[in-house]
Structure 1
Amino acid sequence: MADDDLRDRLRGSGYRLTPQRELILRAVQSLEHATPDEVLAEVRRHASAVNASTVYRTLEVLEELGLIRHAHLSDRAPTYHVVDDHEHFHLVCRTCRRVTSVDAGAAGAFAALLREQHGFEADLGHLTVFGHCTTCTD
């Protein structure tokens, strides 16, 4: 996301684009799927004065603005990633921990079944499927 777009989205919601917010968003972008602790470690490589509470608050703000979202890729902390033009869900190998992003369209039939039979609209961007990749099962 361009700095001007980010600045406009933040200002439109009553926030400023601070250096810390920009660093945190850039860290999420570069790490692709990262826990708050991983974001903090990445940010501290560039600005050691940023503390954990700033990272947590900023992640909440950025998610509220629709710039990032979280998924639960483990039984620990949520994992954040940048919202891009394609919605996706995640496959997580229980053996090697590899995370694969899958286009939401791949679960279209499943989502349609939930809608038709249960009157339920699935949020596929939060979906995580755990299992074993072929590398680990061979």
Structure 2
Amino acid sequence: MNRYYSRRLAGIRLVHDQQLEVENILRQGKMTAENLSRSVDLPYTPQSDYRFEEEASIEFAQSHEAIGVQLADIVAGTVMRYFRDTDAGTPVSSELREAMMRLIDEGDERRGYGLNQVVATVNVRHAE
């Protein structure tokens, strides 16, 4: 996100699904990331930018009250099931396969946006 917005994050709202057990962890992680470049030299990361110049706000909402959180839940669950099923050799529908390929293809690593799912790189680049 920092890369996509060219480090201009003031006015950006991060909204995460309300989960009391991880709220403090996410707040602390955000603060640590924002302050990291002030304390250490950062390694080169071609698809991201951890040199924050501005801060986005973070808030937590129940998914039934925030349409963006609902959409993120649907996409994350679908992506997780797709990779789980393809890894296990379980057939997936052609519609799901096509949707996943479109999600992957729409990303742009140079601009720092697209599907950001934690899976093995081999699965993302060779998803069928």
Tell me which protein shows more strand as a share of its residues. Answer: 1
In the superposition, the TM-score normalised over structure 2's length comes to: 0.24
